[in-house]
Structure 1
Amino acid sequence: MKKKALFLFLATMAISGCTRKDNQIIEQNPVPEVAAIKERRCASYDVLQQSLLADPSLAGRMARIEQLTADVQKNKSLYRLLPNGTIEIPVVVNVLYRTAAQNVSQAQIQSQIDALNADYNTLYTVPPIFDSLRASVGIRFSLKNVVRKSTTKTSWGTNDAMKKSAQGGINPTTPDSVLNLWVVGAMTGGVIGYAQFPGGPAATDGVVIAYDCFGTIGTAASPFNVGRTATHEIGHWLNLRHIWGDATCGNDLVDDTPLHDAANFGCPTYPHRSTCTGTPIEMTMNYMDYSDDACMAMFTKGQKTRMLATFLTGGGRNGFAH
């Protein structure tokens, strides 16, 4: 298990841009790799550098959020401050489409909301070694509105253009109390989703997801068709890091996740051991790894604490706790 390192993440990560590859963790019959399928990669470091250059105060805001989170993690008496009950998060889905297929249906949008509610509140079957670590986070998502806009853009990058009407996008709806999801067409560099962490500017706050990796029906394509791209990215939006800490045997600032060598792709055969200190079995089914949608199945109790800490005063998502 990892020891907390409060501020190391500021040098490596603030905003995440990810690509990944299809629910229950299958221990004995892993889903085979699909040929010619893109794997999840992350543009987080580049986006971080751009964000820090554009806003020198970002590092300080994130450091203060991280200090609050660390205080809660290490002081059990502060757990009483965490939300007691279910947090309800209203969601606005902003659809930017060039083709009819990209204009995802209301049913597909609802399928994504349903998938999020399942993933954040269900204890799925996992290998016995991780059974006691599973967490039902206690967050529910409700669809508030859908905003649609036709565009001539053939692809989108990670420069937040989709979040700005002046750049052909859609401005966020009250991002201090509404989670904005942008569903877009093709994204450059193989990216299929990215999120802004707590502490970033309100004008660009939310999550971006490619239309063929959104929801569980319609245009959602295997192995991205179980809704886990949004589960993963909203984890970032709620201050979770990648499970490998974006470094070889890195630190995700959570005590109950094992050290990972690096990201895992596809459906690794259990047990998949790390070469990090102690050679732990990697938690490849964690939503914050890069495993296929169908092979993701859990958040940990430590990750739950970290997410819920964002709803405290000063945690970056306090506006959603009222």
Structure 2
Amino acid sequence: MGVVFKPGLRNLITDVAGLSVGSAQDYFIKTGSTVLVGNAPFTASVHVMGGAPGTKETDLLAPDKTVDQIDALVLSGGSAFGLDACSGVMDGLRKMGRGFPVGPMRVPVVPGAIIFDLINGGKKDWVENPYRELGRKALENVSLDFELGTAGAGVGALAAMQKGGLGSASVILENGYTIGALVVANPIGSVTSSSGKHFWAAPFELFDEFGGMGTDPETTNFSFKQSPKEMAMMISNVEMSNTTIAIVATDAPLSKTQCHRLAVTAHDGIARAIVPSHMPLDGDLIFGISTTRGVVDHNVFRDLSIAAASCLSRAIARGVYEATPQNGDILPTYKSSQIKTT
């Protein structure tokens, strides 16, 4: 089908030319924010499959809405508080002269989405909402290279059995187009099989990018048992609240409608990497973006869709694999749990 699974130079979403990513975090609160910004405005849409999303400005991204291009996207911790990170990014972009022209003003268009990370061992007794400042700092930190795992919006993320994290991956297609994914993995479901060693995303792994453990030879059926994350929520008398939020990006020329469809098909990548996914209390959401105006034909778009789903599965596993321990953690990291079992 013309899909060659070869990662880009960095194996990050920034392999898509014209995109940069920045993060800011507070390890005391156990939370953070991550921003993706383009050198120029880019086309974007979104698709939500979780039952409990937390979002800002996503209605504008529907294919029938007026705004065609945006300036940045924000992924943040903090539940509803975290949406204020978008305001910090808007402040910074406005100073740069970026934004949608409205008379003498420019209004940066910065949609965002959040994960629930309020019950993760961090100190949440802030007096002033910290997320506006985290968003501003994340924008100041944008670069082509950025940290995965316990960084940015991934600092407070938890999967079912171990810490979640900020993940990214890329793939270059035979036709020369690049697909990249950026994700905050904080799911109700598990990213590993019952043994805890093998990622569900293993069939899509490239060059041992998340440990090279392969698929679990003993797993034929999945049984969702009560997880450490679920038990921690019960102790705190909090209903399970989670989300996997992601961006899939390409330099292929896509219309806003095609960006929406790219996001729809990329949800297959969540379902392949997290079991179960898209649950009523998940807020699973994917932004689909293109840095180039135009439209590709059906065959090219099919290959982009295949690559986007695979790339997102890899990014989810990488985010969990790269997580690092911090004081006050209520779950182990993937790597530390492997040391204990070997």
With normalisation by structure 1, the TM-score equals 0.29
With normalisation by structure 2, the TM-score equals 0.27
